[in-house]
Amino acid sequence: MKKLVTVLVVLLLATSLFAQGGSESKSSAGAVLNFKLAENQPANNPISKGMLMFADLVKEKTNGTVLIDVYLDAQLGNENETIDQVQIGALDFARINTSALASTADEVGVFTLPYIFTSTDHKYKVLDGTIGQGVSDSLKKYNMIGLEYWEAGSRNFYSTKKPIKSVADIKGMKVRVQQSEVAIKMVELLGGAATPMSYGEVYQGLQTGVIDAAENDFVSYYTSGHYEVAKYYSLDAHMAPPAMLLMSQNSWNKLNDSQKQAVREAAKEAAVWQRQAMMDFQNESRAKVEEAGCQIFEVDGKEFQNAVSPIYDLYPQYKSIIEQIKAVN
* Cα 200 from Cα 178, distance rounded (Å): 11
Report whether pLDDT(187) > 60.
yes
DSSP, res 118: S
**Summary mean pLDDT of the chain:** 91
What is d(CA 138, CA 135) in angstroms, rounded to the nearest whole number?
A: 5
> Average pLDDT for residues 181-194, to the nearest whole number?
96
Does residue 9 have a pLDDT over 70? no
> What value does the CA radius of gyration of the chain take, rounded to a whole number of Å?
20
Using 50, 70 and 90 to split pLDDT, how confident is the model at 17?
very low
- pLDDT at residue 140 greater than cutoff 60: yes
- Residue 104 CA to residue 142 CA, distance in Å, equals 8
- Specify the range with the lowest mean pLDDT, choosing from 1-15, 17-31, 262-276: 1-15
**Per-residue pLDDT, 319:** 96
Taking the C-alpha atoms of residue 213 and residue 205, their distance in angstroms, rounded to an integer, is 9
Residue from 150, 187, 148 nearest 171 by CA: 187
| CA atoms of 40 and 78, how far apart (whole Å) | 7
**pLDDT per residue as tens digits for the range 219-241:** 999 989 999 999 999 999 999 99
Q: Is the pLDDT of residue 12 over 50?
A: no
CA dihedral of residues 50, 155, 92, 266 (deg, nearest 10)? 30
Quick: pLDDT tens for 86-125. 999 999 999 999 998 999 999 999 999 999 999 999 999 9
pLDDT at 30: 63
Split at pLDDT 50, 70, 90, the class of 70 is very high
Inter-residue contact 242 to 151 (CB < 8 Å): yes
* Average pLDDT estimate for 259-279: 97
* CA–CA gap between residue 146 and residue 253 (Å, rounded): 14
Domains of the chain: 2-152+241-282 (3.40.190.170), 155-240+284-327 (3.40.190.170)
Q: What is the pLDDT of residues 22-37, one digit of tens each?
A: 766 554 456 999 999 9
